[in-house]
Structure 1
Amino acid sequence: MLHGMTRWFALESADAGFFDTAPHVFRYEKHYDATPAQVWESLQSDESLSAWGKTVGSLTWTSPRPFGVGTTREVGTGPTRVHERFYSWDEGSGYAFYVYEANVPIFRRFAEDYRVEPEGTGTRFTWLVAIEPAGVMRWPFKLLAPVVKSGFGRMAADGERYFAAR
């Protein structure tokens, strides 16, 4: 489908404070068998998370390098596509973004935060996902939250396998 035919739904912006107020916050902590530099290199590479496994189907950076605050990208998981804008970029140790548009009208606000820290000879990867569903989705989302959480959890596990295989 041509990009021009996709209907996009605007979301409200979010920042670090949203992780304290969002109705749904999912937290994942994993140990990766790679140095923080290697994990960071992967996170900001052209493929980024889509290289880790099949959970993220497509990922396109829509800003030129060098990346930083204000950088944008388009990410697809299954039929859902989102446009992300980075509001935080700590070179080598983490970044965070909010979704400003999605092709499905199910979110009011959506943000993610990634942290990369040394842990022994590897890396402690901490990932937060904060979601405020759109009004009509509040109740259905409450019921679906465990499913959504485990879906995102697959991506964190993809990373474990990806780095273990290197």
Structure 2
Amino acid sequence: MPRWFALEPADAGLFDSAPHVFRYEKHYDADPAQVWESLQSDESLSAWGSTVSSLTWTSPRPFGIGTTRTVGLGPAQVHERFFRWEEGSGYGFYVYEANAPLFRRFAEDYRVEPDGTGTKFTWLVAIEPVGAMRLPFRLLAPLVKAGFGRMASDGTKYFAAR
């Protein structure tokens, strides 16, 4: 059983104050209802590609503010709690525990909007590393940003194939 490290709670304010905020905007060839259905499905992002290796909702449906889930990215695992849930248009969550002591606070926000015949998907990732990781993270931030960008690109391929 993995050891868990507690992170500090976060809310939407972290997207304005975190030392590292990554923003991704993608157009998906699917209507917003399809993208939303995928995001809150049992597989969610793990269906889009291999970047997310596992995803388990740990709260019962219907989902909303306070919903929790566990997400795996290879050996890294996190427990997430949702602080924003707008049915059909997006959600935001923060990581409250991780199996590695890398972050002080970590949050993500997903928005789904109509965009012509498809969907505009906007994704924000806000990261505040723990003190000892500030300098290494600053050096590794471009690689971390590219890794998250791969997940957003996985969505482009996923919806184009549907």
Scaled by the length of structure 2, the TM-score of the pair is 1.00
Q: How far apart, CA to CA, are the structure 2 residues paired with 1:155 and 1:148?
A: 11
Task: Note if 1:145 corresponds to 2:138.
Answer: no
Partner of 2:21 in structure 1? 25
**Deviation string for 1:104-123 (max 9, x for gaps)?**
00000000000000000000
**Among 2, 14, 25, which residue is 1:6 paired with?**
2
CA distance in 2, matches of 1:80, 1:6: 10
CA deviation after TM superposition for structure 1 residue 51, in Å: 0.2
Give the secondary structure class of the aligned counterpart of 2:88: coil
How many Å apart are 1:78 and its aligned residue? 1.4
**What does the per-residue CA deviation read over 1:116-156, in whole Å, with 9 as the maximum and x for residues that have no partner?**
00000000000000000011000000000000000000000
Aligned to 2:43: 47
Aligned to 1:36: 32
Aligned residues with identical type, % of pairs = 82
The superposition leaves residues 20-53 of structure 1 with CA deviations (integer Å, 9 ceiling, x where unpaired) of 0000000000000000000000000000000000
Which amino acid in structure 1 is aligned with residue 142 of structure 2? P
The residue aligned with 1:116 is 112
Is residue 59 from structure 1 mapped to residue 59 from structure 2 by the alignment? no
SS of aligned partner of 1:67: coil
The residue number in structure 2 matching 1:163 is: 159
Question: What is the identity, as a one-letter code, of the residue corresponding to 1:130?
Answer: A
Alpha-carbon distance in structure 2 between the residues aligned to 1:17 and 1:148: 21
Which of 7, 12, 16 matches 1:16?
Answer: 12
SS in 1 for 2:84: strand
Aligned partner of 2:100 among 104, 109, 116: 104
Matched, 1:126 2:122: yes
Residue 76 of structure 1: how far off its partner (Å) = 0.3
Following superposition of structure 1 onto structure 2, how do residues 65-80 of structure 1 map, counting pairs within 5 Å?
Answer: 65-80=61-76
User: For structure 2, which runs of at least 5 residues remain unmatched after alignment?
Assistant: none
Gaps of at least 5 residues in structure 1 are none
Q: Distance in 1 between matches of 2:68 and 2:136?
A: 29
Which stretches of structure 1, 4 residues or longer, exceed 3 Å deviation after superposition?
A: none
**Matched residue count:** 162
2: CA distance, partners of 1:79 / 1:41? 27
Equivalent-residue separation in structure 2 for 1:16 and 1:140 (angstroms): 25
- Give how far 1:6 is off: 1.1
Partner of 2:150: 154
